[in-house]
Amino acid sequence: MRHERHIATGTETTLPPLVDQFGRQVTYLRLSVTDRCDLRCTYCMAEHMTFLPRQDVLSLEELYRLARVFIRGGVRKIRLTGGEPLVRKNILQLFSLLAPHLDGGELDEVTLTTNGTLLSRYSEALFATGVRRVNVSLDSLDAGRYARITRWGRLDSVLKGIDAALSAGLKVKLNAVAMRGDFESEVDDLIGFAHGRGMDLTLIEEMPLGQTGHDRSQSFLPLDHLRRSLAGRWTLVPIDDRTGGPARYVRVAETGGRLGFITPLSCDFCANCNRVRVSCTGGLFTCMGSEGTVGLRQALRGEDPEANVGSLIRDALGRKPKGHSFEISRQAVSGIARHMSVLGG
């Protein structure tokens, strides 16, 4: 059963495909639906965040209208993110609005990235709107450490959320940000936990986005370093599987499960980048590692929104950079001022 729809949806006439200046066709949209979150992960947010005024944030209807422009331009996969997408009031309405595009075959997939705290409440409803996969962020299986990383999160709520998602029939992938220190020994437990439940685990290299009050140069753990140490304990068999994203996968022979590595700083996936990101205020980012953004909100709230938003997107794609430009090391951090929660990873 679908949730009630408040605005008309339907099969779309298509527009010329969204192609950037290097011929890369954009088929994947990551859409942030809020900058707010119920957690404050140290690598992502400052403890005392100032969130956006509500009138700056796109309404659910505006988010849907925006998504529809991308769908008409050939986007086939939409991932909702945040902040925490499930803390957005009435978020199921947006999933319900997108559902007909899944039914109609214009979209292959609608997914979300979540911290999992509200999955026990939402998993069944998400499944009912056509969601089949979720990414859940989980950096530790130790309740104390989880609380320290998230500043106040409760591990048990996430574990219950993961169970609820699996019971509802959702495929779950875990994401963990690799960090120097405890994480290096705990990662083995995360592998066992994920693979024991049929979930992929993807390790993400920390990105220098926003001041969060923690010293990234101390926490940054290069994934090539972690991978070498994992290879001393596990048999990592390289595989070609690509999920359309930047992760490179290996199969862990001992568990049979997949382990992914996302090394955003290495830029080794930029050449095939098929994605754009839109913030919850309608800022279009054609590259995650670049500060440049094109505001779509005004056009979205003006006359003939779909045509005007469409041409702004096409202009911006004409300037999509070939690759990103940030770096981090123990000595130097050359980062980007915005927080990850603005764009949602």
* Radius of gyration of the chain from its Cα atoms, rounded to whole angstroms: 19
Per the listing, tokens 């990662």 go with: 187
Nearer to ligand SF4, 45 or 207 (CB): 45
Candidates 93, 123, 135, 137; binder of ligand SF4 (CB under 6 A) is 137
Query: Does residue 123 belong to the site contacting ligand SAM (CB under 6 A)?
Result: no
Nearer to ligand SAM, 45 or 97 (CB): 45
Binding-site member from 18, 26, 31, 41 for ligand SF4 (CB under 6 A): 41
Residue 285's DSSP bridge partners are 277
Task: Choose from ligand SAM, ligand SF4, none: what does 204 bind? Cβ within 5-8 Å by kind.
Answer: ligand SAM
> Which amino acid is residue 273, in one-letter code?
C
71 binds ligand SF4 (CB under 6 A): no
The amino acid at 181? G
**Cα separation of the two ends of the chain:** 31
Q: Which does 40 bind (CB under 5 to 8 A by kind): ligand SAM, ligand SF4, none?
A: ligand SF4
The tokens describing 76, both together, are: 């086939």
Report if residue 84 touches ligand SF4, rule: CB under 6 A.
yes
Sign of CA dihedral 155, 158, 162, 163: positive
Closest CA to 122 of 152, 162, 78: 162
Does position 344 bind ligand SAM by CB under 6 A?
yes
Dihedral (Cα; 294, 295, 298, 299), 10-degree rounding = 40
User: Is there binding between residue 57 and ligand SF4 (CB under 6 A)?
Assistant: no
Shortest Cβ distance from residue 7 to ligand SAM (Å)? 26
Q: Which residues of 13-46 are buried (b: 16+ CB within 10 A; e: fewer)?
A: eebeebbbeeebebbbbbbbbbbbbebbbbbbbe
Among residues 250, 273, 272, the alpha carbon closest in space to that of 260 is found at: 250
Q: Least distance from C-beta 84 to ligand SAM, angstroms?
A: 4
Nearest CB to ligand SAM, comparing residues 42 and 93: 42
Q: Which stretch binds ligand SAM (CB under 6 A): 48-56, 101-109, 201-209, 248-256?
A: 201-209
Going by the annotation, the residues of the binding site are 30, 37, 41, 43-44, 79, 83, 113, 137, 173, 207, 270, 273, 275-277, 287
Binding site for ligand SF4 (CB under 6 A): 37, 39-41, 44-45, 82-84, 115, 137, 340-341
